[in-house]
Amino acid sequence: LPAGLSQWFPALEVLDVSGTGLAELGEELLALPRLHTLLAKNNRLGGPGSLPKGLGQAPLGRSLRVLNFSGNRFAEVPPALLELRGLQSLSLGGNRLHGIPPDIQELRSLEFLYLGGNFITSIPPELANLPSLSYLVLCDNKIQSIPPQLAQLHSLRSLSLHNNLLTYLPREILNLVHLEELSLRGNPLVVRFVRDLTYNPPSLQELAGRTIKTRNVPYAPSDLPENLVRYLSLASNCPNPKCGGVYFDSCVRQIKFVDFCGKYRLPLMHYLCSPECSSPCSSASQSSTSQSESDSEDEASVAARRMQKVLLG
C-alpha cells in the first residue's frame, strides 16, 4: 500500500485492493479510523508479515465490518482477524485453510462467514457460539460430519455444504427452523439418498394390475393363472388420500418424519405409487405408524420436509 495513505484519505471508508498482487498489507492501513470495508481478494497474502502487527488494537480493528481475503494463500485463519470483534462479514474462500480455529467464537458480531473452496476437514463446535450468524458457506471442502451444536445457530438462514464428504446429518439440524437455504449436492449423503429413491417406471404387468385394481375389474381364480392371481393380491394402497391408487413392485420411496410418543421425531420410509403423490399425506392406512403420528405439524416437521426437497432438488 502506498505510504501516506491515511494522510491523503483520512475519511476513507471502503478500500478495494483486489487483484493487485499484494503480498502484504502495510502498517499505514492501521491509521484509517473510518475504514469499515476492506477488499483484498485474489492477491498473494498469506505468508509471514502479510498483515500489519497490532491490527486488533488499532482504530481500524474497531471500525472494520467487512473483510474479504478470498483467493489468497492463507493456510490458517490469521489470529489477528480473530481480534476484530466488530467484524460482521468475513470471507476467506479459495485459500489453503485446513481448519477453523475454535477462537472463531470470539467474533460475536459475525453475520456472514465464507470459507468455501479450502481443505477444511471438520467444523469446531465453537462455531455455534456466534449468535448473529445468518449465512455460513463451507462448500467445496473435505468436511465429513456436522457437529450437532450447529443447531444452536438460531439466526442461521443459509447453510452451504455442497461438494464435501458428508455421509449423514445430525438429527439436531431439524432445530434450524429458520433455515431458508440448505445446499447439500455433491455429498455422498445426497448421492446415496437420490440413488435409493430412484423411481423405476412400472412394468406392463404392474400397469395392467393397477388398472384392474383401481377400476375394480372383476376376475376369478379360474380366469387367470395362479401366479397372476397371487400377484394381484399383493397390491398396496397409496397412502395419499387424494390418490386412491395402488402399487405392486414399482413405488416411490420417501423419507417422512413422524412423532413418536411425543418425544422423538423418527425418519420413516414412506411408499407412494408415483412421484406425483409426493405431497404431504397421512399414513392412516399403515397401522404400525398411525397411532404414533400427530396430525398437527410443528416447525420441525416443516423444516424436515423442506430439507427433503432440497436433498432431491
> pLDDT tier at 297 (50, 70, 90 boundaries)?
very low
Q: Which segments of 199-248 does DSSP mark as H helices, in order?
A: 204-214, 226-232
Per-residue model confidence as pLDDT tens digits over 64-118: 999 999 999 999 999 999 999 999 999 999 999 999 999 999 999 999 999 999 9
C-alpha closest to that of 280 among 236, 220, 245, 240: 240
Domains and CATH numbers, the chain: 5-194 (3.80.10.10)
C-alpha closest to that of 291 among 258, 257, 254, 243: 258
The confidence score (pLDDT) of residue 304 equals 42
The confidence score (pLDDT) of residue 56 equals 82
Q: What is the percent of the chain where pLDDT is above 90?
A: 46
Element (H, E) at 7: helix 5-8
Number of Cβ within a 10 Å radius of residue 203 = 12
Length of the chain: 313
Q: Dig out the grid coordinates for 118 from the structure.
A: 479450502
> pLDDT tier at 286 (50, 70, 90 boundaries)?
very low
Residues 6+ apart with CB under 8 A from 114: 70, 90, 91, 92, 93, 135, 137
Specify the pTM.
Answer: 0.65
The confidence score (pLDDT) of residue 144 equals 94
Q: Which amino acid is at 199?
A: Y
Q: Which has more pLDDT, 50 or 190?
A: 50
Number of Cβ within a 10 Å radius of residue 278 = 16
Per-residue model confidence as pLDDT tens digits over 86-100: 999 999 999 999 999
Q: Dig out the grid coordinates for 125 from the structure.
A: 463446535
Per-residue model confidence as pLDDT tens digits over 121-133: 999 999 999 999 9
pLDDT at 308 over 70: no
Q: Are 293 and 283 in contact (CB under 8 A)?
A: yes
Q: Are 28 and 35 in contact (CB under 8 A)?
A: no
Q: Are 91 and 110 in contact (CB under 8 A)?
A: no
Alpha carbon separation from 139 to 41, 87, 132, 136, 180 (Å, rounded): 18, 22, 20, 9, 17
Cα gap 185→156, rounded to integer Å: 19
Q: What is the percent of the chain where pLDDT is above 70?
A: 78
The confidence score (pLDDT) of residue 170 equals 84
Tell how far CA 297 is from the center of its chain. 22
The confidence score (pLDDT) of residue 283 equals 32
pLDDT at 180 over 70: yes
The confidence score (pLDDT) of residue 103 equals 96
